[in-house]
A = this chain, B = another copy of it.
Amino acid sequence: MSSGLHIIKIGGNVIDDDIQLQSFLEKFAALQGKKILVHGGGKIATRIAADLGIRAKLVDGRRITDKPMLDVTTMVYAGLTNKHIVSSLQKYGCDALGLCGADGNTIKAVKRPVRKIDYGYVGDILVDSVNTLNIKKFLEAGFTPVFSAITHNGLGQLLNTNADTIASALAVSLAKIYETKLIYCFEKNGVLRNVDDPESVIKSIKADEFETLKEDKVIYEGMIPKLENAFDALGKGVKNVYIGNALNLHKYQQGEFGTCLLSK
């Protein structure tokens, strides 16, 4: 087991506000040790698609990615957003390396099989999707990989892939090489006991407590898949998972960051 690795996922709301994004990136750059950033796309892709006359289709909160929308997400996630983040991190002294899953064949997904819904060019991550060998080369050479939520199928097809899932898949795979901690950053201070009170952060949640919190409707909607991803990662060798406010990342190494999820 080599030294530690932090994998940090940053969500859309922070990306949409450049002042918040810069504040987060400066804190991310200051985080010691090996690290990987995974970012979503924010609302820019939807806005640019609309400006291009392409309508975003959603089914059950999931984006349907037809060919024009795949092109837009590739442009925005892997181009505009990824390179803005990378050049900003370089400014803060972090040797960032922007990647999509095709770069260095780092993440190879499969096009989601069509069942009830045809999601279009959406990639599902499999057990062996992550090329830990190549990602390790980047980390050991001193680079900080910055992943956009675009993968490929190895046959020349790019695929749009959920960023939370990419973050947990990276964490699970790299946990075999590094002591890996996964941090989901978003706009809230953590998992809240009372959604109207931003200070009501639940400091830690064990897997069995998660079930109770779901039953009691304390945790609901978009938070459920995020936490399910997180507990799944814990069950597969990831050392710790945290969920908290992107702008509080500087408090992480003082042990004062968001909600810590525990396998038991």
Q: Which A residues are closer than 8 A to B by beta carbons?
A: 48, 51-53, 71, 74-80, 82-84, 86-88, 90-91, 95-100, 102-105, 134, 137, 141, 143, 150, 152, 154-158
Contacts and interface: CB of A to CB of B under 8 A. Distances in A.
B74 A83 contact: yes
B91 A156 contact: yes
Contact of A79 (B51, B74, B87): B74
A66 to B, nearest CB: 15
Contacts of A78: 78-79, 82-83
A250 B176 CA distance: 41
A90 B157 CA distance: 10
A131 to B, nearest CB: 10
B141 A91 contact: no
Contacts of A87: 102, 152, 156-158
A76 B72 CA distance: 9
Contacts of A104: 95-97, 143
Contact of A84 (B53, B86, B90, B158): B158
A79 B53 CA distance: 20
A256 B87 CA distance: 41
A134 B104 CA distance: 15
A241 B212 CA distance: 69
Contacts of A48: 52, 75
Given A51-B52, A74-B80, A83-B158, 10 more contacts: A51-B53, A74-B79, A75-B79, A78-B78, A79-B79, A86-B102, A91-B155, A98-B99, A98-B102, A134-B141
A97 B100 CA distance: 9
B75 A102 contact: no
A259 to B, nearest CB: 32
B103 A96 contact: yes
Contact of A102 (B52, B90, B141): B90
